[in-house]
Amino acid sequence: MAKSKNQEPDKVVIASNRKARFHYEITDVVEAGLQLKGPEVKSLRARHVSFEGAFARVNDGEAFLHNMHITPYKQNTLEEISPTRTRKLLLRRKELDRLATAQDQKGMTIVPLELYFKGGWAKVALGVGKGKRGPDKRDSIRQKDAARELERSFKGRFKA
């Protein structure tokens, strides 16, 4: 049975940048395509990717993803590809302009949040955020602990 046009294609998450939400207060999320080479796609399907130190920049009307590490595919017989090479992000002009203005504001940065396949295409969710300071991080930890304690206290109480 065919899917209807308004239904979203399946989203297969490859990797999530869990530290990004801890270190940054994310205000806006944008979905972007990635310009990849063939062996890189094979490595992504095997989930050989790391977000450590990755960030995005908008330069001269084009967006690029820096320092995202994709482990080289072992059976690659083509050219040698650098694992942390700069990759072009595929965005619409309106989204590019929105990211460029956010990047120009003091303290704002663009970080990758999630990497996934959507309809067979590699996509990355970019978050625009401001770096958290020490007290903000402690508040995040406190809220997470409180939510966990609340969950524990209700566990097993409402069995049918």
Domains, the chain, in order of start with CATH, read 11-154 (2.40.280.10)
Comparing 67-76, 82-91, 128-137, the range with the smallest average pLDDT is: 128-137
- Distances in Å between the alpha carbon of 99 and those of 60, 66, 104? 12, 15, 9
Tens digits of per-residue pLDDT, 7-61? 556 888 998 888 888 888 888 899 999 998 888 888 888 898 988 889 999 998 8
Q: 6 CB contacts (<8 Å, ≥6 apart)? A: none
Q: Which two tokens stand for residue 106?
A: 């003091």
Distance (Å, rounded) from C-alpha 90 to C-alpha 152? 43
Report the pLDDT averaged over residues 144-156. Answer: 83
b (16+ CB within 10 A) / e for 9-35: eeeeebbebeebbeebeeeeebebebe
Q: Which residues contact 108 (CB under 8 A, 6 or more apart)?
A: 102, 128, 129, 130
Dihedral sign computed on CA atoms, order 120, 122, 127, 128:
negative
> Tens of pLDDT along 81-118?
888 889 999 999 999 999 999 888 888 889 999 999 99
The better pLDDT of the pair 156, 141 is held by: 141
Locate all alpha helices (DSSP H) within 26-155, ordered by sequence: 38-45, 93-104, 134-154
> Counting Cβ atoms within 10 Å, is residue 115 exposed (0-12), middle (13-18) or buried (19+)?
buried
Q: How far is CA 128 from CA 29, 82, 110, 117, 144, in A?
A: 6, 26, 5, 21, 22
User: 66 has which bridge partners?
Assistant: 55
Q: What is the structure's pLDDT at 157? A: 67
